[in-house]
Amino acid sequence: LRRDISPLLKDPAAFGALIDLLEDHLRASFPKIDFIAGLDSRGFLIGPPLAQRLGVGFVLIRKKGKLPGPTESISYALEYGKAELEIQSDAVEPGQKVVIVDDLLATGGTMSAACELMKRLKAEVLECLVIIELKLLKGAEKLQSIPFYSLLQYD
């Protein structure tokens, strides 16, 4: 069963309402955020408008080989092999407060790798934020002590 955010993206009112909900949640939860970090690739769709609303910067966490300059990279397991994620080494400063966003949390492998990258750069991950969580796959458990928030949950 595929959960698809395309209809949300096609409807400007629905997409605006989505960003409103995420913005309200973050403003209520965290007095200070330095950056929104988005996961390749659908985190790039919700991250920038959210960062704009909050008046903060947006940083990219990408699949290996896409970012210029020095990068920090991490390899992680997928259901069907392994993958690598990268962030630019100077994307965030030690102690900066970051919220990591993506469209969907399934097994949690990609999100937990992103958290590890932030840890290596000595940033503080305030929260992992997604639109949809597939509860059955228990991805949130992989994030251990990192706060996690999802707008919609499916079993």
Please state, in angstroms and rounded to a whole number, the distance separating the CA atoms of residues 101 and 142.
16
pLDDT on residue 60:
98
Q: Where are the alpha helices (DSSP H) in 30-147?
A: 43-54, 109-120, 139-142
Task: Supply the pTM of this predicted model.
Answer: 0.96
| DSSP designation for 64 | T
Determine which helix (DSSP H) or strand (DSSP E) holds 142, and give its type and residue range: helix 139-142
Helices 43-54 and 12-29, interaxial angle, to 10°? 60
Write down the pLDDT at residue 147. 97
**How much is the pLDDT for 1?**
55
Mean pLDDT for back-to-back runs of 10 residues, the chain (155 residues): 85 98 98 98 97 98 97 91 96 98 96 97 98 96 95 94
Asked if the 31-59+91-153 domain carries CATH number 3.40.50.2020, the reply is yes
What is residue 65's predicted lDDT score, i.e. its pLDDT?
96
Residues taking part in catalysis: 42, 79
Cβ burial, residue 108 (10 Å; 0-12/13-18/19+) = buried
Instruction: Quote the longest CA-to-CA distance of the chain.
Output: 41
